[in-house]
Amino acid sequence: MYILGMESSCDETSAAVVEMADGVRRIRSNIIASQIETHRLYGGVVPEIASRAHIEAVTRITEEALAAAGVSLREIGAVAVTSHPGLIGALLVGVNFAKSLAYANRIPLIAVNHIHAHVAAAYLSVPDLKPPFLALVVSGGHTAFYHVTDDTTYLEIGGTRDDAAGEAFDKLGRVIGLPYPGGAALDQLAYEGDKTAVPLPTPALSGDEIALSFSGIKTAALNYLNGAAQKGTPVNRADVAASYTARIVEAIVKKTDLALRQSGLPTLVLAGGVAANSHLRTALESLCRRRGVHLAMPERSLCGDNGAMVAAAGYFEYLKGNFANTSLNASALDDPAAAV
């Protein structure tokens, strides 16, 4: 069947047509309109501007996705849309568009959790992937571990106590003058520096808890940079990037190792925008090799927000008969049901 996947939870408007069936996981189109250039001016996503940009892009992007796939609306078996979590105004654009499209064309509608969608991107890159597995979602808004018991059931078993890893990367990127969002540029700069040059705390909490905290390393890096500026001593940006990246990657690897040992799961899925980080990918590859664990990662182009991952997650909800209707609402929360 063909699923139209729609994503508008942050600063990417995306629509994709994905063909899903038993043994078939094929991306027919995956159109992404990024707002990065718009938000760069402000050094971060401005929610009000993001919502307006989604409104301007959503119809065109959907038409483009159908045309590029060579699939008509009549052939679409379900419309899957990210309904939570994310920026509420941004989410509402995608949800209302998908709702209207599904209603007017009598197509089943499916609500998708954005975090599950990031994980579902791995199903598109690793066709034989099957739960149970441990999923590590590392993005601009989340850093968390999930025990995935079946394709739609996610049990959170740990994660960050404060900031997300992507947020920490972007913050350092901003203060050392890299273009927004700093994550990808920092990834490259880290190769040019000495990862032992700058003393920074590790973001892994001690003990047997699957817990991370990125606020300390963020503050320590800012203090280091401010201190150097006050003393008038030069700063090697590459050394800061390398040390900061190394400590974050070490902490994530340490807690992933713990989560794998505690859960005994045979497979690790690494997903989310920060899953594109080459240092993290390499470090987790070597951890999984050491532990004899199968590592499944979406290809780098599917790590950031996109409609194909939403379609993939939607397919599994479809198989379970989890349909939404015209009363579907968006929510900024990770788990809107738990808040009721």
7 part of the interface to ligand KG4, by CB under 6 A: no
94 part of the interface to ligand KG4, by CB under 6 A: no
Of 141 and 203, CB closest to ligand KG4: 141
312 part of the interface to ligand KG4, by CB under 6 A: no
The piece of 122-130, 166-174, 192-200, 311-319 that touches ligand KG4 (CB under 6 A) is 166-174
The piece of 164-172, 255-263, 308-316, 331-339 that touches ligand KG4 (CB under 6 A) is 164-172
Q: Which does 193 bind (CB under 5 to 8 A by kind): ligand KG4, Zn ion, none?
A: none
170 part of the interface to Zn ion, by CB under 5 A: no
Site size with ligand KG4, rule: CB under 6 A: 18
Binding mask 249-288 for ligand KG4 (x = CB under 6 A): -----------------------xxx-xx-----------
Q: Which of residues 241-260 bind Zn ion (CB under 5 A)?
A: none
Minimum distance of Zn ion from residue 226's CB (angstroms): 31
Binding mask 186-225 for ligand KG4 (x = CB under 6 A): -x--------------------------------------
Minimum distance of ligand KG4 from residue 115's CB (angstroms): 8
Binding mask 290-309 for Zn ion (x = CB under 5 A): ---------------x----
Minimum distance of Zn ion from residue 225's CB (angstroms): 28
- Exactly one of 139, 143, 160, 245 binds Zn ion (CB under 5 A); that residue is 139
| HEC string for the chain | CEEEEEECCCCEEEEEEEEEECCEEEEEEEEEEECHHHHHCCCCCCHHHHHHHHHHHHHHHHHHHHHHHCCCHHHEEEEEEEEECCCHHHHHHHHHHHHHHHHHCCCCEEEEEHHHHHHHHHHHHCCCCCCCEEEEEECCCCEEEEEEEECCEEEEEEEECCCCHHHHHHHHHHHCCCCCCCHHHHHHHHHHCCCCCCCCCCCECCCCCCEECCHHHHHHHHHHHHHHHHHCCCCCHHHHHHHHHHHHHHHHHHHHHHHHHHHCCCEEEEECHHHHCHHHHHHHHHHHHHHCCEEECCCHHHCCCCHHHHHHHHHHHHHCCCCECCCCCCCCCCCHHHHC
